[in-house]
């Protein structure tokens, strides 16, 4: 299992090269002694190896930034567990915020979908819309069709096309901008 490598940059406020070497050795020892347990602890909380590794990297970064204040007579693992637990909570908050944003975007997009028929009063306008949609790049057109015509959520489209939700959001935004510019002009 490959996690992260100990950092080799200097800790803050370190002016003594010998002290830096001692702190580096201490950090490396702490890293080697704790990395497996910290990984398993974090993985149990996240069930995602990538997220667990990101959180662990942040934990060791915080440890490195505070290495000159660490009491070596005490076990450092509880401190790392606290860092990890806080990192997991932060990650969950980010996910919740991201999901709320996605839901809001879907609401905004569905409102836009309702507005389109209102201003399209003639068959010519509907035909222009279809022609404009046809001018979208292939992948963007596919995403637009899945969202607008088939009614799939961004998350469903992302899963079906094996892309990120952020990519779906970006492509939909570009599609809508293109259509607004094309149909207004």
* DSSP symbol at 113: H
- Confidence band for 185, pLDDT divided at 50, 70 and 90: low
- For 155-180, how does the pLDDT look when each residue is reduced to its tens digit (9 = 90+)? 999 999 999 999 999 999 999 998 88
Calculate what percentage of the chain has a pLDDT beyond 90: 43
The pLDDT confidence band at residue 87, using thresholds 50, 70 and 90, is very high
Nearest to 27 by CA among 75, 60, 73, 71: 60
CATH of 120-184, one of 3.30.70.20, 1.20.1440.230, 1.20.1260.10, 1.10.10.10: 1.10.10.10
Contact assessment for residue 155 and residue 143, using Cβ atoms and an 8 Å cutoff: no
Q: Which of 84, 47, 60 is nearest to 3 (CA)?
A: 60
Beta-carbon contacts of 116 under 8 Å, excluding residues fewer than 6 positions away, are 129
Domain ranges (residues) in the chain: 17-93, 120-184
The angle at the Cα of 161, spanning 159 to 162, to the nearest 5 degrees, equals: 60
- How far is residue 92 from each of residues 10, 38, 63, 88, measured CA to CA in Å? 31, 18, 22, 6
The DSSP code for 121 is: -
Taking residues 135-145, report their average pLDDT.
91
* pTM, rounded to two decimals: 0.48
Domain 17-93: give its CATH code: 1.10.1740.10
Asked whether the beta carbons of 46 and 55 are under 8 A apart, the reply is: yes
Domain 17-93 matches domain 120-184 at the CATH topology level: no
Q: Cβ(185)–Cβ(132) under 8 Å?
A: no
Statement: residue 149 has pLDDT above 80: yes
CB 43 within 8 A of CB 89: no
Dist. CA 123–CA 117, nearest whole Å: 11
The whole-angstrom separation of Cα 10 and Cα 21 is: 9
Q: Which residues contact 109 (CB under 8 A, 6 or more apart)?
A: 147, 148, 172, 176
């Amino acid at each position: 299992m490959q996690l992260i490598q100990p950092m080799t940059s200097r800790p803050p406020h370190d002016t003594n090269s010998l002290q830096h070497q001692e702190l580096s050795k201490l950090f490396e020892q702490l890293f080697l002694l704790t990395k497996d347990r910290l990984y398993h602890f974090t993985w149990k909380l996240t069930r995602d190896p990538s997220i667990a590794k990101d959180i662990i990297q942040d934990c060791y970064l915080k440890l490195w930034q505070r290495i000159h204040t660490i009491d070596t007579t005490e076990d450092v693992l509880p401190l790392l567990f606290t860092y990890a637990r806080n990192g997991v909570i932060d990650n969950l908050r980010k996910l919740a915020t991201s999901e709320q944003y996605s839901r809001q975007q879907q609401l905004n997009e569905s409102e836009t979908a309702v507005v389109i028929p209102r201003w399209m009063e003639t068959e010519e306008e509907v035909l222009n819309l279809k022609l404009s949609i046809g001018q979208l790049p292939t992948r963007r057109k596919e995403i637009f069709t899945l969202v607008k015509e088939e009614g799939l959520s961004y998350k469903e489209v992302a899963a079906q096309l094996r892309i990120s939700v952020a990519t779906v959001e970006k492509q939909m935004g570009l599609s809508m901008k293109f259509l607004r510019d094309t149909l207004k002009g």
